[in-house]
Each structure stands twice: as structure tokens, then as C-alpha cells.
Structure 1
Amino acid sequence: MTSIFVRSIQLLLSISILILIHELGHFLLSKAFQVRVERFFLFFDPWFSIFKKKIGDTIYGIGWIPLGGYVKISGMMTNEERDSSEKEKIDWEFRSKSAIKRLLIVSGGILSNVLFSFMIFSFLLFKYGETYLPTKNVKYGIEVDYLGKKIGLRNGDNILLVNGKYIPYFHEIPKAILLGNSITIDRMGKIIHLSLNDDKKRFFFDRKEFSFFIIKPRVPPIINYVVKNSWGYKSGLKNNDEILAINSEFLLFSDQLKDILSKYKNQTILISINRNGRLLQKEVFLDQKGILGIYLKNFLEMDNIFLFEKKNYSIIESFPYGVKRTWEVLKNQIFFLKNVFHIETKAYKQVGSFFSMAKEFPSQWNWEIFWTLTGTLSIWLAFLNLFPIPSLDGGYILFILIEMITKKRINERIFERFTIIGFLMISLMMIVVIIWDIFKVFFY
């Protein structure tokens, strides 16, 4: 329950920040062009609000439905007929402004979300720098999960090219494979070319939960932590012990350990270990699950084996990275959306609501991960709002662009009807996605 609460709080905080940033973009540009903003609300407030206060011409408040927020801009949606006595209102109404000013006001939320992502990614680089493992320093090949095996990869493979290109840093390989069409590998000296067609890519998406499939550098089986009171702990295993053999079966890599242990469930085994250069043997009883009660080190904890590259950046140097990272996130979202409509990949199964987003946050608070996910969601929100659907920013942008091209204003009543239809469409889509998310959790 604690992990669910922590994830939910992180999601709520992240969404709240993004809503405020988005609506602030509309608000500031409205003020810059002297357009009156009647209401500025975090969350929706039908019937009542949690808090509201009027300052100047604007009522600021917090609603009770955390599915978005809004700014109500004077003259943006109205079917009221004007007469000459209302002429003084024209100067501060949205519809009184030129097309280019209205376009900027409507685009303000999208622009502010893009700018916010850029600032987050730039600051993260300035704060934490970069620590990367060059692909050329992956000494023992790769370790893959079942998804990697489904597309033809095997433990110990060395990845040479993806889509005919050399990938300089190891962390970029999973994404390159997901976006690519071919992989060239070295398997024990034999060069093999794997194609990635739609049938193979279906394995990435046709499952209950979506995440990048796991490719790791293959590593020796060195103990990172022994669980207190486990069978391994009682038998004298210690942190930093390197496992050399189980009974008479030698092993060189971590991925071999699980397969070997599965053969000796409910049995006592003899483990040969290297402890600071000394060869030791320990008898350990395995329970019916074949669990020793140990956690092995991953490649990030083996800087004595793998040669990493670390680079720190000044705040100025981090800006180009912020632009690059923002663009990369946007490209990934476009790719995923393309696959959602490509039925063969079954990527539509990974569409989710707030429930799915909450799972992406860690069960323990981590500011670096929090801001990384918030930056990603910010550019995602900007991208979604570009869709030319009435009631989204993209719908307003489309109508204004049509006006700029035809030199004629679209009838306000027609505009309002389309906006209502768009709102109903989006509401229906949200309901369907939420129901689908619940179905995936309990039935799929």
C-alpha cells in the first residue's frame, strides 16, 4: 500500500505541475496581448471548487476533478450578440485580436510545455551529468530477457549494428532496436543478420505491461547483497563473493545461475566461491522455489570490470542536450502512436490512463526519476494538444489557420458546436481508456 501511495502522490504532483505550466502559457500570452482571463483553475470544478479567490479580473482556484485544468479567456467562446453599447468590451476580448495574436495565445500551452521539458532535461544534465558505457567496452556480450530471445537475440551475442549503424553507447541500443528494422550480431564469431518485421515487433507490445525490453551487458555472478536469515545467509555467503560453480557445474555469467539452481530445488548444493582470491566451498539448502536469497551485482556496480565514461556539463553546455533530449522523446512518442494504429504490432494494448502512468513512477521517492518522467509527460502533453480535435489546442489552431488562409472568420456558433462535439469525443475516449486500463489490471 505504501508504494501505491508514493506512486500516486508523485503522479498527482507531476500532473498538477504540468497543468499549471500549460495553462500558464495561455494565461501569460493572454495578458501580454491585453486579453482578459476570467478564470484560472487547476483541475475541473463543476458545481463547486476546493478553493477560489478573485484577484483583479481573474478568479484563481482549485477544482475537485484532477483530470485537467483550464483558463477561461474572455470572448473565446460565446454566442452572445453584440450591439454598439458593448463596443468597450471588444478591446480586451480574445475575438477582438488579430489572427496571429489569437494563434499565439492558443499555442501558449503547447509552447510552455515544450519549453518546460527543455528546461527539465537541461537541468538534469547539469545536476547529474552523464555516465555511459561505450558499446565497445561491453566485454562479455549481452544478457537478454524473454522478449530479446523472441526476436532472435541470445545471451552472449555482441551487437555490431542496428539498422546498419554502429550505436556508440550501450544504453541507446534498446531504443534503436525498437525503432529499427534490422540487427547485426556477432555470435561466437559468426555474423548474423536479424530482421525486425511487424510479427517480431508485436512481442514488444502484445503483453500486459509495456516497458523497453531488457538488454544488459553480460556480467560475472558476483553477490551484491545477501538477504538476512535466507539460506544463503545461514550458509555463510557474503557480499562480493564471486560464484564459480554449483556442484560440478561451472558458471561464468549471472544469467547461467538461475537455470542451474532450478535443477536443484529442495536439495542441498555445494557452491564454490572466490572470496578475495581464496577458493571456498559452502553447502546451501535450496527451497522449493530454488532461491538462494542473494542479489547479484549489475554492470553499473562493476566499474572495476567495465570502463565507463563520465562527463559533467556547465549550465550553458547542458542547453543543447535539453533540445536533443526533448526531440528524442517526441520522436519516440510519434513512433509509438504510429504503431498504435498499426494493428499488426498490437501496440494499442499499451494505451493506458492515469493507472498506467502511476506504475512508471518508482515506489520510493527519487527526484531524478520524478523530473525525468515529468519532462517526458510534458512533451507528451504538448504533442497530444497538437491534434486538430475541437476543444484541444490543436482544434483552435486549425480553425485559426483556416481563417488566416481564407481571410474569413468561421461562424462562432459553428465553432462552438464543433468544440462541444470535440469535448464529447475526448471524454468518451478517456472513459474507454480508463475502462481498458482497469480491464488489463484485473482480467487481461
Structure 2
Amino acid sequence: MTSSFIRSIQLLLSISILIVVHEFGHFILAKTFKVRVERFFLFFDPWFSIFKKKIGNTIYGIGWIPLGGYVKISGMMMNEERNSDKKNSWDFCSKSAIKRLLIVSGGIISNIILSIILFSLLLFQYGEINLPTKNVKYGIEVDSLGEKIGLKNGDNILLINGRYIHYFNDIPRAIILGNSITINRMGKTMKLLLNNDKKRILFDQKEFKFSIRPRIPPIIKYVIKGSSADKSGFKQDDEILAINSEFILFFDQLKESLSKYKKNQSLLISINRDGRIIQKKIFLDKNGILGFYLKDFIDMDEIFLFDQKKYSIMESFSYGVQRTWNVLNHHISFMKNMFHLETKAYKHLGSIFSMAKEFPNQWNLDVFLTLTASLSIWLAFLNLLPIPSLDGGYILFLIIEIITRRKIKEKIFERFTIIGFITISLMMMMVIIWDIFKVFFS
């Protein structure tokens, strides 16, 4: 199976779970308040459905358009004044405004609960391993994008937006969404402003590749058998100190130094092996490769002290709520950047095609659950927006009704719903077209 197919299957499964959970939220609250549910469908079913079966008063089924799902609640669109003689006790419109508000909010509530449960389960099962920012003793290593926004190898990040970031893995995201970075560069404190021009550097690219890593010494993790390094006698845990008398302290310096030499050229490399300084002669092969892999910072427990946490069931739930809130905040902050056209963050706006690329090309349950939890809280937020035809639009009308104690006329509600539906449909079409354009023409 191709990686694209595997990603698509994971996305379809994730979306199906989110839809079922969302619609089940409406369904269970409708049943709780004794409101009849006529249909419960995964995916849309115009003209025909893949499967359907009637159980009690409800038809359960699967449609053929995988862009959503729905529950049809009896009397939800009924005009109370015009059809009062047809109103039944099981109709939606016969219930109080508070009960109707809860039923309409059921999908949003369910998606929030799902996100919290999934994050809590992951935290309970695996705990967390994080690198505290204070333990990044050699500063940072940045890519070309980091250099363009003003960062340099060896900088120590002190604050972002005036706030200390406790864990290093949160720093890249904080920079992307932030407005300023306070750094220590060779003993001097500096403040870098992230204006729209610098944000454009980060966002104005086909694929988002901005990364920051802890700066690390070049220590060999693995020597490839039969390679030039193997033949020259290099071993695991050897630390590279110099190349042709040029001192090397960090991995980024090693990369820069090697880029100066030609392929098939002889090099004299000095190494530290168990406290002894040894020199080895080695050749760059025709591909410019020495023949060993270097350790990443996660392999250097003796240098970087990680925080490892295990959570009880109650603790995992508390931190699951916090993780859900943090993920939602990140989504909202990124969306705010999209409204600043100068940043070109809109280039990373995507539809289901972009979402599919977030899933790994091989099945990984942990990643699948993490992405599903993230999508679930984002779906809850989008449905909470006060746009007619979304749950949030209906919630807005019901809140107005509760405050004014007057029911909004159905004609007004229907007109706003139609306008909202057309608006959302056009927006979805534009996003899908934009996504296709990015994939095939960018």
C-alpha cells in the first residue's frame, strides 16, 4: 500500500470517529429530553445511502459523501406558531429553550470530552518526557529560516513575548505565534522583534520546515559497517574534536567544516575516546559521506537532563484538560496570523488534503490518537462560531431567545441559515480549490 493511501485511510477513520462522536452528542441529549431522532447518519446521503437500518423510531445509516454527518431531530425546523396544532411532545420545538440549547450544544460538548479523554489516556499510558529550557546548556542550533529571522547558532532563548517557556519543545511553536524573542548572545541580552516581514519568512514556503534544536557536541552514535569510518577505526561514542587542525565543538560546526572539503578528499579527524585524544585519517567518499551517524540530543542523557513524568488517572485527566486547552490556543493563534495577509500564513490553510499529510505513512496508534484529539477540539471550536447553519449559529439564536424571552421567527432563522450554509459551502470550496492548487501547481 502506498503512503498516500495509508494516510487517507487514517484521515477517513479519524473523521468518522469525530463525526460519530459529534452527532452522538446531539443524539444522546435529544433522547435524554425525550425528543425523537428520526435519522442518525455518518456522512451525507443525497439520493441514496450505502447502508441504513431502522431501529425503533430512528434510521441509522452511512452516506456516500464523506464530508460530514447529521442527526435529524423531529420538529427542529418546525414553526411553532404556524404548526402549533401538529406539535407533539417528542418534538424539539416543544421543549424549553434551555433543553434545546443543551441538545444543540451536545456535539460541541462531545468533541471537547473526546479530546480530553484521548489526551488523558495518552498521558496516563506514556507520561511525558520533556527537556527543560534551562537544561539546554549550549544554546540553540537553527536552520536557514531561523537565521533569516535573526537567530544564530549558540543563542540562548530567555523569553518569548516576555514569557519564559519552561520546556524547549514548546519554543518553536511559541516563536511562530509570538511577536518577540529575548535572547542571550555571547553574554549580551538582545530582543528580536517578529514583525510581519519576519513572519512571512516563516510562512512563505510550500512546506513548513522551521525548526530549532539544542546545540550539541558531535558524538558518534553508530558506525556503518564497511564504510570509510569503519575502516579507519571510528567507534560508537567517539567525540569529534577537530578536522585538519580546525577545532570542532558542536554539530553545526562539523557540518560547516565538512562543506568546505571535496569528495574523495583525505581528512585528519581528532577524536576524544574515553578521555584520550586520537587522530584518524579518513576519506570522504564519492557522495561526500564519512560513514557514521551522530547522536541527537535525545540520545545524550548524560549531557541533557530530561523531565520524565508519570501521571495517575486523576492527574492525567487534569493535564488532559490543560493539553486540550493549549492545543486550542495554538489553533486560534495560528488562525489569527492568517488574517494578517502580509505574513502569508494563509498559504498553510488547508482542507482534507492537507490534513491527510499530517498522518504518518505507517500506522501509529499514538500519533493517530494525538491528531484525532487535536482535530476534535478544533472541530468543537469551529462549530461554536456564531455562524448560521453551524451549531454556534443556532446557539446564538437560542441565547437571544432566553435573554429576550421571545422566540425568533422561523422565516428569519431560515434565511440566516441559508445564507450561512451558502457562505460556508463557498468557503469550503475555496479552501479545497486552494489546497488542490498547492498540491498540483505550486
Report the TM range for the smaller structure's normalisation: over 0.9
2:185 to 177, 184, 187: 187
Task: Flag the 1:3–1:285 CA change in 2: closer, same or farther, 3 A.
Answer: same
Task: Flag the 1:248–1:97 CA change in 2: closer, same or farther, 3 A.
Answer: same
Q: What corresponds to 2:280 in structure 1?
A: 281
String of CA shifts for 1:45-90, please: whole Å, max 9, x gaps.
Answer: 1122121111111111111111111111111125695363x34xx2
Q: Does 1:161 align with 2:162?
A: no
- Contact 1:237/1:282 (<8 A) preserved: no
Q: What corresponds to 1:263 in structure 2?
A: 260
1:358 to 341, 356, 359: 356
Q: What corresponds to 1:22 in structure 2?
A: 22
CA displacement at 1:387 relative to structure 2: 1.4
String of CA shifts for 1:217-270, please: whole Å, max 9, x gaps.
Answer: 111122334567766567665554433333343322112233223222433232
CA displacement at 1:216 relative to structure 2: 1.0
Task: Flag the 1:83–1:374 CA change in 2: closer, same or farther, 3 A.
Answer: closer
CA displacement at 1:39 relative to structure 2: 0.9
- Contact 1:45/1:62 (<8 A) preserved: yes
Q: Does 1:325 align with 2:323?
A: yes
- Contact 1:265/1:286 (<8 A) preserved: no
What SS is found at the alignment partner of 1:219? coil
String of CA shifts for 1:365-419, please: whole Å, max 9, x gaps.
Answer: 2222221111111110001111122211111112212222332222223322322
Structure 1 unaligned spans of 5+: none
Structure 1 segment 94-243 matched on structure 2, within 5 A: 94-210=92-208, 213-226=210-223, 239-243=236-240
Output the CA distance in 2 between the equivalents of 1:257 and 1:396.
60
String of CA shifts for 1:74-128, please: whole Å, max 9, x gaps.
Answer: 11125695363x34xx211111111111111111111111111111111111111
Output the CA distance in 2 between the equivalents of 1:26 and 1:368.
28
What SS is found at the alignment partner of 2:89? helix
Output the CA distance in 1 between the equivalents of 2:380 and 2:257.
49
Q: What corresponds to 1:382 in structure 2?
A: 380
Q: CA RMSD in A?
A: 2.3
CA displacement at 1:215 relative to structure 2: 1.3
- Contact 1:130/1:311 (<8 A) preserved: yes
What SS is found at the alignment partner of 2:221? strand
Q: Which moved more, 1:30-39 or 1:414-423?
A: 414-423
One-letter amino acid of the structure 1 residue matched with residue 390 of structure 2: L
Task: Flag the 1:50–1:292 CA change in 2: closer, same or farther, 3 A.
Answer: farther
CA displacement at 1:28 relative to structure 2: 0.6
Output the CA distance in 2 between the equivalents of 1:431 and 1:232.
55
CA displacement at 1:439 relative to structure 2: 1.2
Task: Flag the 1:365–1:225 CA change in 2: closer, same or farther, 3 A.
Answer: farther
CA displacement at 1:203 relative to structure 2: 2.1
What SS is found at the alignment partner of 1:91? coil
Q: What corresponds to 2:41 in structure 1?
A: 41
Q: Which moved more, 1:244-253 or 1:226-235?
A: 226-235
Task: Flag the 1:73–1:293 CA change in 2: closer, same or farther, 3 A.
Answer: farther
Output the CA distance in 2 between the equivalents of 1:104 and 1:136.
46
Q: Which moved more, 1:409-418 or 1:238-247?
A: 238-247
- Contact 2:228/2:282 (<8 A) preserved: no
Output the CA distance in 2 between the equivalents of 1:274 and 1:60.
69
Task: Flag the 1:198–1:301 CA change in 2: closer, same or farther, 3 A.
Answer: same
String of CA shifts for 1:283-326, please: whole Å, max 9, x gaps.
Answer: 223335x3445443211111121111211110011122111111
Output the CA distance in 2 between the equivalents of 1:429 and 1:224.
50
Task: Flag the 1:264–1:10 CA change in 2: closer, same or farther, 3 A.
Answer: same
Aligned residues with identical type, % of pairs: 71
Q: Which moved more, 1:249-258 or 1:371-380?
A: 249-258
CA displacement at 1:141 relative to structure 2: 0.8
Q: What corresponds to 1:302 in structure 2?
A: 300
Output the CA distance in 2 between the equivalents of 1:16 and 1:229.
49
One-letter amino acid of the structure 2 residue matched with residue 207 of structure 1: Q
One-letter amino acid of the structure 1 residue matched with residue 435 of structure 2: D
Task: Flag the 1:287–1:375 CA change in 2: closer, same or farther, 3 A.
Answer: same
Q: What corresponds to 2:59 in structure 1?
A: 59
Output the CA distance in 2 between the equivalents of 1:271 and 1:11.
51
Output the CA distance in 2 between the equivalents of 1:104 and 1:132.
39
What SS is found at the alignment partner of 1:60? strand
Task: Flag the 1:293–1:373 CA change in 2: closer, same or farther, 3 A.
Answer: farther
Task: Flag the 1:186–1:312 CA change in 2: closer, same or farther, 3 A.
Answer: same
One-letter amino acid of the structure 1 residue matched with residue 419 of structure 2: I
Q: What corresponds to 2:2 in structure 1?
A: 2
CA displacement at 1:426 relative to structure 2: 1.5
- Contact 1:144/1:214 (<8 A) preserved: yes
- Contact 1:247/1:269 (<8 A) preserved: no
Task: Flag the 1:267–1:100 CA change in 2: closer, same or farther, 3 A.
Answer: same
- Contact 2:78/2:93 (<8 A) preserved: no
Task: Flag the 1:362–1:97 CA change in 2: closer, same or farther, 3 A.
Answer: same
Output the CA distance in 2 between the equivalents of 1:264 and 1:360.
37
Structure 1 segment 313-352 matched on structure 2, within 5 A: 313-352=311-350
TM-score (normalizing by structure 2):
0.92
- Contact 1:43/1:68 (<8 A) preserved: yes
TM-score (normalizing by structure 1):
0.92
